[in-house]
Amino acid sequence: MERSIIIAPSVLSADFSDIRNALLDIEHSGTDWVHLDVMDGRFVPNITFGSKFIEDIRPHSDLYFDAHLMVDDPIRHIEQFAKAGSDNITVHVEACRDIPKTIELIKSFGLGCGLSIKPETPVSAVEPYLDDVDLVLVMSVNPGFGGQSLIPETLDKVRQLAKLKGNRGYLIEIDGGVNAKTIADVFASGVDVAVTGSAFFKATDKAEFVDWMSKGVGDRL
Ligand code: DX5
Ligand code: ZN
């Protein structure tokens, strides 16, 4: 069976005034994940949207809502994002006051639970929780903006997490600077999910884009 990875387009690079069509573009591209970048202007130097935005788009899409919370002390907001319709909630280890409690709360809503690490944060920061989470998100750019260049050293952490997996079920997700030029290395590093924002929304043929990217082939695009 040919290996393929999940492609999760990030709506951060979409036109928010036309978000329903952006969601339709994602659905028609052949992937069933959408990545939702929540930024609070404190943990990261940018502000995007809150749980109301997710609540409002939920009835318009059957996509898997992969919520990426770049929010300080996220435990305060888990219930809101859970009730808004997120399918997975990922929080940053650097932002949590109590990681076990935050994981427990996310899981108490029956959702997928992810932990994310910034480029400078080592894998050892998430290692104690690898039995408890469904996903580990390796930031390949400094969180806060789309359209940045992938930091190649972060792929070492993906390889490390792939080695540590054993028979644990967590998915390895990468986020930031994933495009036709970087996808071959990203794919080879062992990821299960690749987020792509600016490259996806720039692609003229989004179904072809997702097809090739999910096979780790960028040079044909
Ligand atoms: C950045 C976000 C990313 C971003 C990716 O902090 O977490 O999800 O939208 O965008 P690109 O693919 O343009 O780097
Ligand atoms: Zn993200």
Closest CA to 35 of 72, 70, 76, 3: 70
* Closest atom of ligand 1 to CA, residue 150: 14
**C-alpha 10 to ligand 1 mean position (Å):** 7
pLDDT tens for 120-177 read 999 999 999 999 999 999 999 999 999 999 999 999 999 999 999 999 999 999 999 9
pLDDT for res 219: 66
Average pLDDT of every residue of the chain:
97
pLDDT digits (tens, 9 = 90+) for 30-59: 999 999 999 999 999 999 999 999 999 999
Q: Tokens 């300080």 sit at which residue?
A: 72
* Count of other CB atoms within 10 angstroms of residue 215: 15
* Pocket lining: 147 vs ligand 1, CB cutoff 6 Å: yes
Q: Is 211 in the pocket of ligand 1 (CB under 6 A)?
A: no
CB of 106 within 8 A of CB of 113? yes
Residue 2: per-residue pLDDT: 86
Query: What whole-number distance in Å separates Cα of residue 145 and Cα of residue 121?
Result: 18
Distance 165 CA to ligand 2 centre (A): 22
Ligand 1 mean position to 79 CA, how many Å?
24
Q: Per residue in 164-207, pLDDT tens? A: 999 999 999 999 999 999 999 999 999 999 999 999 999 999 99
Q: How many CB atoms are located within 10 Å of the residue 18 CB? A: 11
pLDDT at 218: 80
Confidence of residue 1 (pLDDT cuts 50, 70, 90): confident
State yes or no: pLDDT of 221 exceeds 70. no
Catalytic residues: 37, 175
Q: How wide is the angle at C-alpha 43 spanned by C-alphas 41 and 44, nearest 5°?
A: 60
Closest residue CA from atom 6 of ligand 1: 143
**Ligand 1 pocket residue status of 71, Cβ below 6 Å:** no
Residue pair 7/196 in contact (Cβ under 8 Å)? The answer is yes
**Is residue 173 in contact with ligand 1, taking CB distance under 6 Å?**
no
